Each structure stands twice: as C-alpha cells, then as structure tokens.
Copies of this chain bind each other. A is one copy, B any other.
C-alpha cells in the first residue's frame, strides 16, 4: 500500500500547490478576498485524488487532469458556501463559514464567482470540453436538486430511507460520480461507460455520507478534530436519525431534546441497543461492495489505484 500512499500524498501536495497558486485578481476586494479565504480551506481532497487516479487509468495528461480536479474542487467549494448560508451553518472545516467571516451578500457573490471560475477552467481543456461541460452542468443541476430535497426534508416528520438515499445520491454522490466520469469523457470513452462510472461514484457517495453520519456520533473526537453530535443538535435528518425516529420516535425525540453536546453516551447506547448503528454500518458496506463490483466490471481490478483508494476511504476514521 505504501507506493499508493506516497502517490496520494504527492497528488494532494501538487493539488494544494495548484490551488494556492491559482491566479486571482487583487480587486475588487469585495469579490476576491472571500474567494481567497475559501480557497485557503483545508479539505481532505478526496475528490481531486479520485480525478487523478481515474485519469491515470486512461494515461491522461496530468496537467489536464489537474484542471478537472480544480474545476471539481471549486464546484465543491461553491456548493458548500451556498449550502452553509441556506443551512445557517457557522463552522466548516474548523473555521468560520464564509458568510460568518464576511457576510451573506459577500458569500453569495463569492460562490457565484467561484462557480464561474470553475467553468472557465474546464472550458480550457483541450479535448472533449463541450461534452465534459455538459455532464458537469448536468451534475450541478442534480446537486441543486439534492440540496432542494434536503431542504424539503426539514419540514417532514417522517422520511423513508429510500428517499434519503435518493437525496444523498444527488447531493453527495453526483459530485463523486463526476470525479470518475469527467476524466473518462476527456479520454473519449463511450457514453455507456461514462454513465456506469458516474453511477459507481453515486454509490460511493452514499457509502461516504452514511460513514459521515456514523462518525458524527460514534467517531473519535480527537481523531476527527471537532465536537461530535452537531447533526443531532441541529436535528438534521441523517440515516441514523430517520431510522431511530421510525423505531422509537418518543424515546429518540426525548434523547435529542435532552442532548446538550457533551454526553453522547446515552444516544450511543440507544442506537447500539436498537441495532441502528449496525444497520447503518451494514448499509454502508453494501454500498461500498456495490461500488467495488461495478469497478471490477469496468476493468478496475483489485490492484488498480482507484479500487485501492476506495478501500482506503472505506477504512477512514475521520
């Protein structure tokens, strides 16, 4: 695994360098200062890494892959900035969200600017840029639909697990799907293969989000580097919350209204005793499994970088 770890570190470092040295004008400060603040944020860079690993399987030009990975990470930043306003979230990646650091108008405009810069980066691709941009914008619209469904859930007392997973496929999965399929489009792969890769990414997105839902309650605070249970405090509709609500609505509602952010033990015990924790873990593994099987069918064998990176994601603790 060590050569892959080294490769991943290398990609992450190169990507961070490209992002940091991305040329941006100095003024108007009202637009570019918030954009610069946003680009300084430290992400785990899973998405850019997947882009590079997928593109390496096609032996694509690393500079062109860098453009795709920048385009996708900027799209990711744009959606986070606007989502944080919509959801009134104050903290992201351990620092104040953009609208908290600046204000709501600045954050709306910075998001619009970042999204536009992302399009300009992808337009500069040398091969198949029109096809790639079409898929990219279809993905963005799907992400918007995912966010809309998530907002609709806020006012619904009961949400079916299937509906939640459909929402996650759009809100989180679509972007991971783009990481896999945009390099394939650039390489001129068939529409059929592109769509299959897109769906692998959507499966991975569901697995990834379910992991997040679990880590948010059962993770190790020291490893994750932030206080746990914020989804519970915000009463977010996660997979865990909606299953708990279905199994024993009264007790679950008591538990979350009691919760003050300090003692997760009672909630953890309730979830473990009712098998909710293991149910969501099983579901997570099902989605990982499904993405592995699809990868194998698409010619990414167990030794391939993409397959092995999925395994690394499955094993993550933060």
Asked if A113 is an interface residue, CB under 8 A from chain B, the answer is yes
Binding site secondary structure of chain A: helix
List the B side residues contacting A145 at CB < 8 Å: 28, 31
A119 touches B105 (CB 8 A): no
Asked if A137 is an interface residue, CB under 8 A from chain B, the answer is yes
The proximity string for A residues 123-141 relative to B, scoring 1 for CB distances below 8 Å and 0 otherwise, is 1100001100110011011
B112 touches A144 (CB 8 A): yes
Q: Considering residues A108, A115, A120, which has the most beta carbons from chain B within 10 angstroms of its beta carbon? A: A108
Known: A115-B115, A148-B30, A149-B28. A138 touches B120 (CB 8 A): yes
With A and B bound together, what is the CA distance between A116 and B146 in angstroms? 14
B28 touches A148 (CB 8 A): yes
Residue tally, chain A, CB below 8 Å to B: 39
Q: Considering residues A32, A86, A87, A112, which has the most beta carbons from chain B within 10 angstroms of its beta carbon? A: A112
Known: A130-B129, A141-B113. A151 touches B119 (CB 8 A): no
A109 touches B144 (CB 8 A): yes
List the B side residues contacting A148 at CB < 8 Å: 28-32, 109
List the B side residues contacting A117 at CB < 8 Å: 141
A109 touches B82 (CB 8 A): yes
A134 touches B120 (CB 8 A): yes
A-B contact pairs, 13 of them (CB 8 A): A30-B148, A30-B152, A86-B105, A104-B104, A105-B151, A109-B144, A109-B148, A112-B140, A113-B141, A120-B134, A123-B133, A123-B137, A129-B130
